[in-house]
């Protein structure tokens, strides 16, 4: 089996059996992102506890690439610090912007952290599909930053409420 065939199978597996699909409570931030190029869309929620991504849930409509990529992303970030998820977003973005120029060694070095996400390396050769692959990741970044901002606001409120008058 060729590597491209294996990658295609990974994408199809995630599309058929989407991990963490279905909107759940509780959550600190919810975002809705749309790819205007093709109409793919995703609503994504993030639940953060103590700086760690406790849950990512989503509902989406669109092609196998956008749905599978969101499935992969959610599985990679849950249980890890928010900052780790944001770093993975940047690594996946670099992969998608590579236009298929990454070597096997480059992919191997990223593959350890991106796990099944590396299956989207071939997608980077098709500019029209890159936005599909990035949809869920962009929604995660947006939601994570909103959740962090909300957490900081809440900490500031708690500090001000506890301050002597």
CATH of residue 47: 3.90.1010.10
Domain tally for the chain?
Answer: 1
What residues are paired with 58 via a beta bridge?
Answer: 21, 44
Q: Model pTM?
A: 0.87
In a domain, 81, yes or no: yes
User: Which residues are CB-neighbours of 111 under 8 A, at least 6 positions away?
Assistant: 118
Task: Give the Cα separation of 62 and 116 in Å (integer).
Answer: 20
29 vs 110 pLDDT, higher one: 29
Residues facing residue 47 across a β-bridge: 55
> How sure is the predictor about 136, in pLDDT bands with cuts at 50, 70 and 90?
very high
- Is residue 20 left, alpha or beta, with left meaning phi > 0 and alpha meaning psi from -120 to 50? left
What element of type H or E holds 18?
none
SS3 131: helix
Residues of the domain holding 102: 3-149
Interior angle at CA 35, CA 31 and CA 39, nearest 5: 110
Q: What is the helix (H) or strand (E) element at residue 56, kind and residue range? A: strand 52-61
The model's pLDDT over 55-84, given as tens digits with 9 standing for 90+, comes to: 999 999 999 999 999 999 999 999 999 999
163 found inside a domain: no
């Amino acid at each position: 089996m060729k590597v491209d065939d294996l990658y295609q199978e990974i994408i199809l597996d995630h599309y058929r059996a989407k991990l963490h699909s279905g909107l759940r409570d509780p959550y600190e931030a919810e975002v809705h992102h749309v790819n205007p190029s093709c109409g793919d869309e995703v609503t994504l929620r993030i639940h953060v506890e103590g700086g760690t991504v406790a849950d990512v849930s989503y509902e989406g409509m669109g092609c196998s690439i956008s749905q599978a990529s969101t499935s992969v992303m959610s599985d990679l970030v849950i249980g890890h610090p928010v900052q780790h998820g944001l770093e993975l977003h940047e690594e996946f973005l670099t992969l998608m912007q590579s236009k298929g120029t990454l070597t096997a060694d480059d992919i191997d070095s990223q593959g350890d952290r991106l796990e099944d996400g590396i299956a989207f390396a071939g997608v980077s050769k098709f500019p029209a599909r890159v936005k599909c692959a990035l949809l869920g990741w962009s929604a995660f970044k947006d939601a994570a930053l909103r959740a962090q901002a909300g957490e900081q606001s809440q900490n500031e409120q708690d500090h001000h409420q506890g301050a002597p008058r």
